[in-house]
Homo-oligomer: A and B are copies of this chain.
Amino acid sequence: MNAGHVVPRMAAVSAPARVARAGDGIGVQELALAGRNHALPLEALRHEVTPAGLHYVLTHYDIPPTDPARWRLTVHGRVGNPLNLSLAALRSLAAVTLRVTMECAGNGRAQLSPRPVSQPWLDGAVGTAEWTGVPLRALLAAAEVAPGAVEAVFTGADHGVERGVEQDYRRSLPLAVALDPERTVLVAYGMNGGPLPPQHGSPLRLVVPGWYGMAAVKWLCEIVLTDTPFTGFQQAVAYRYRRTADEPGEPVTRIAPRALLIPPGFPDFMSRTRVVRPGPVLLEGRAWSGHAPVARVEVSADAGHSWYDAELAPAGAHPWAWRHWRCPWTAEPGEHVLAARATDAEGRTQPVHQHWNRGGFGNNAVQRVPVVCL
């Protein structure tokens, strides 16, 4: 359970983290990531529950080959009763279905200046699904958590190299989060009523309501309870808020508030600029926060000079899912920049200009949607 085994010759394939120079376009390595992973096309915000193929996907290494019929999930370490479960055994336990909005911690990274070189997300690395599975706390209760356990460490079957470190994808949660009755961390085998698709972790993944997606380990095969905090690569090296390469930084955890507009009108193919007709236009979208319910969404049609309160859909039965909002607007001929800004019940709001960090994490700067009214 250390940061992984650094193989010296792995440096041949694996360069240190870096930020792009001012003015540098997206490089071919970033493009290769952008081509395999994908965002939610923003018009798909119209779906309250995102169809699987439209939900954002981020895979660090390859989507591994998996066989549901032979899959095993082991639970061991600081437990009194280690478990070794087939998928059938998991499916025989009491199941719950939760609607959860998941967002990549790197969403917005490509809009930072200078740009951290990694998966170059603009603003669509988000999606909402109905996840079905077994509450993690039920599994841990069956495994009988031993005294002194402080974290649960989750291992996925995806294997690769990152910054010279060969590893299976592995992340931990504090036991207080893993057992939190408010949050219901899920060991999920279903998505939107069907089995998990390969790219979403088939046959088993973690879902951590309110946390960025790096916590939601896919292709989950092992849970180890430990008596010391996990210091593996994805915990201690990646997914930290830091300004310089050599500071330890703060861990990336919960999702900062964000609102996104369904871009109105129709787009130009290449510029993606939106065209709307003069007259009434209903601006609408969704908003979420991993800290507290969204309490307010404001909309601007003049690039943030003035703001109007949007109407929020009633708080529903899905506290970890995004909330729909709407705001009427009358479009007049000319160019406009639309924007929306979410504030949660604990008073967190979105910045107009992003605070930069070296990993490009937690970038929830206000979305800007240029529109031409013709």
* Nearest neighbor of A161 in chain B, beta-carbon distance: B268
Q: Among A24, A25, A60, which residue has the most Cβ atoms of chain B within 10 A?
A: A25
Q: Are A162 and B269 in contact (CB under 8 A)?
A: yes
Q: Among A26, A29, A46, A268, which residue has the most Cβ atoms of chain B within 10 A?
A: A268
Known A25-B25, A43-B62, A197-B51; contact A12-B270, beta-carbon cutoff 8 A: no
Which residues of chain A from 333 to 347 have a CB within 8 Å of any chain B CB? 335
Q: Among A29, A36, A51, which residue has the most Cβ atoms of chain B within 10 A?
A: A36
Known A37-B38, A63-B41; contact A374-B267, beta-carbon cutoff 8 A: no
Q: How far is the CB of A212 from chain B (nearest CB, A)?
A: 17
Known A53-B199, A110-B31, A122-B32; contact A61-B24, beta-carbon cutoff 8 A: no
Q: Are B61 and A269 in contact (CB under 8 A)?
A: yes
Is residue A273 contacting chain B, with contact meaning CB distance below 8 A?
yes
**How far does the alpha carbon of A14 sit from the alpha carbon of B267 in the complex, in Å?**
10
| Stretch of A113-121, A144-152, A217-225, A250-258 at the chain-chain interface | A113-121
**How far does the alpha carbon of A42 sit from the alpha carbon of B32 in the complex, in Å?**
11
Q: How many residues of A contact B (CB 8 A)?
A: 72
**How far does the alpha carbon of A12 sit from the alpha carbon of B372 in the complex, in Å?**
8
Task: For A26, give its contact among B26, B198, B267, B374 (CB under 8 Å).
Answer: B26
26 A-B interface contacts by CB (under 8 A): A10-B275, A10-B374, A12-B374, A15-B271, A24-B25, A28-B110, A31-B110, A31-B120, A35-B38, A35-B124, A41-B63, A41-B199, A44-B198, A44-B199, A51-B198, A52-B53, A53-B57, A53-B200, A61-B266, A61-B267, A62-B267, A118-B270, A159-B266, A160-B266, A163-B270, A166-B275
